[in-house]
Amino acid sequence: MTKHFLSLAEQSTEELRNLLDLARQIKLHPAGFRDACAGQTLAMIFQKPSLRTRVSFQTGIYQLGGQGLYLGPKDIQLHRGETIADTIQVLSRYVDGVMARVFAHDDLVQMAEHGSIPIINGLSDLLHPCQVLADLQTIREKKETLAGRKLTYVGDGNNMAHSLMYGGAHFGMTVAIAHPRGYAPDPEVVARARAIAAGTGGAIHITEDPGEGASDADVVYTDVWASMGQEDERAERLKRFEGYSVDAALMGHARPDAIFMHCLPAHRGEEVAAEVIDSPASVVFDQAENRLHAQKAIMVRLMGR
Ligand code: CP
Ligand code: NVA
């Protein structure tokens, strides 16, 4: 059976731990993996913009001896009505793996169903698992252990909140989500994350109170208030998210040695204050760097010879 990387909920804790260990090895000894995907092509379908995902995947596959092929929103025939099923069956005849950034998560599920090559989720409206794998690598580097740590996500109950709950649950962390009313995470995702956490000693805590959510946190995390595709809701969201900025006062509820995380891109003065994201507690560029190493691990595992 072809293996995919669509959701952290579909991976076992052991698989994820192995991926994190491999990512650490790749980061320490990149030259040892120079030929791990020699001669292989990763097609990269983007229905939305990207800096980190695009550049880290393209660079990552090159560093593994393969090549990346960027397919932007207007480059292939999807926007002219070619089906996902046909597109992925054709790609399966040419390339060795597909990384796709889509709106509807179901597009990825269809790719996995109809194709015969590994599919990697480069972000969907539901989930962003590559980001969270890199984030777990970063937390492990900064805090040494994951189990028992508290990660508080403040803001929109979106793709980042969802994948953070799954990732944290796998590793026995407490993940608190503090969201404005009306912007809660998907209850099905919360239930599934709680089921994972039940087996690891982790916990999922949902609140509308950012101060309570952030209390004693080891990690405070936030993301944009209007995700890609929600541009029309931006003005409304700016009003509804008032009071949910991660500023120095909110960081004051967390542990004194707490780190600040953000998947980026960030909007200073909205979801995070400059005094926080530009402070020594911020590890946002380590997170961005680890996208490269973590995704190389995913490609080695899924496409490696
Ligand atoms: N964090 C992240 O996925 O960034 P991009 O949207 O720039 O890829
Ligand atoms: N929630 C954001 C994450 C960007 C990396 C979005 O989907 O736009």
Cα–Cα distance for residue pair 79/288, rounded to 1 Å: 30
Residue 57 has pLDDT above 80, yes or no: yes
Beta carbon of 228 within 6 Å of any ligand 2 atom: yes
Question: Mean pLDDT across the stretch 163-186?
Answer: 98
pLDDT average, residue stretch 67-77: 96
pLDDT (mean) for 74-88: 95
- Looking at the CA of residue 56, tell me the nearest atom of ligand 1: 8
What are the backbone angles phi and psi of residue 253, rounded to the nearest 5°?
Answer: -80, -25
Phi, psi values for residue 201, rounded to 5°: 85, 10
User: If you write DSSP's letter for every residue of 117-159 in order, what string do you get?
Assistant: S-EEES--SS--HHHHHHHHHHHHHHHS--TT-EEEEES--SH
Cβ atoms of 171 and 136 within 8 Å: the answer is yes
Write out pLDDT tens, residues 205-214. 999 999 999 9
Instruction: Tell me how far the alpha carbon of residue 130 lies from the centroid of ligand 1, in angstroms.
Output: 10
Give the amino acid at 270. E
Task: For 260, list phi and psi in degrees, rounded to 5.
Answer: -110, 135
φ/ψ of residue 223, rounded to 5: -145, 170
- Torsion of Cα atoms, 16 then 17 then 21 then 24, to 10°: 60
Band of residue 1 on the pLDDT scale cut at 50, 70, 90: low
Question: Average per-residue pLDDT in the chain?
Answer: 98
Q: What is the 3-state secondary structure (H, E, C) of 47-67?
A: CCCCCHHHHHHHHHHHHCCCE
Asked if pLDDT for residue 170 goes beyond 80, the answer is yes
Could you report the per-residue pLDDT of 226-256, keeping only the tens digit for each? Answer: 999 999 999 999 999 999 999 999 999 999 9
pLDDT-based confidence at residue 50 (cuts at 50, 70, 90): very high
Pocket test of ligand 2: the residue of 227, 230, 241, 270 to mutate, having most ligand atoms within 8 Å of its CB, is 227
Domain 8-128+289-303 = CATH 3.40.50.1370: yes
Does 284 sit in the ligand 2 pocket, CB within 6 Å? no
Mean pLDDT (whole number) for 87-112: 98
Contact in structure between 261 and 168 (CB atoms under 8 Å): no
Closest CA to 60 of 79, 84, 83, 36: 36
Residue nearest to atom 6 of ligand 2 (CA): 227
CB count in 10 Å sphere of residue 64? 24
> Which residue is it, tokens 């929109």?
156
Active site residue 25: no
Ligand found nearest the CA of 231: 2
Q: Give the largest CA-CA distance in the chain.
A: 55
> Is residue 263 annotated as a catalytic residue, yes or no?
yes
Q: Where in the chain is the domain with CATH 3.40.50.1370?
A: 8-128+289-303, 131-287
Are residues 192 and 160 in contact, defined by beta-carbon separation less than 8 angstroms?
Answer: no
104-131: b (≥16 Cβ within 10 Å) or e: ebebbbbbbebbebbbbbbbbbbbbbbb
Q: Would you place residue 204 in the very low, low, confident or very high pLDDT band (cuts 50, 70, 90)?
A: very high
3-class state of residue 229 by DSSP = coil
Please give all residues whose beta carbon lies within 6 A of any atom in ligand 1, as ranges.
50-53, 123, 131, 263-264
**Whether residue 131 lies in the annotated active site:** yes
pLDDT at residue 85, as a whole number:
98
Residues 18-31 have a mean pLDDT of 98
Examine the residue annotation and report whether 89 is marked as an active-site residue of this protein. Answer: no
Q: How sure is the predictor about 2, in pLDDT bands with cuts at 50, 70 and 90?
A: low
Nearest CA to ligand 1 atom 2: 52
Asked if pLDDT for residue 305 goes beyond 90, the answer is: no
Superfamily per CATH, domain 131-287: Aspartate/ornithine carbamoyltransferase (3.40.50.1370)
- Among the listed residues 52, 54, 101, 105, the single catalytic one is 101
Q: Does residue 227's CB lie within 6 angstroms of at least one atom of ligand 2?
A: yes
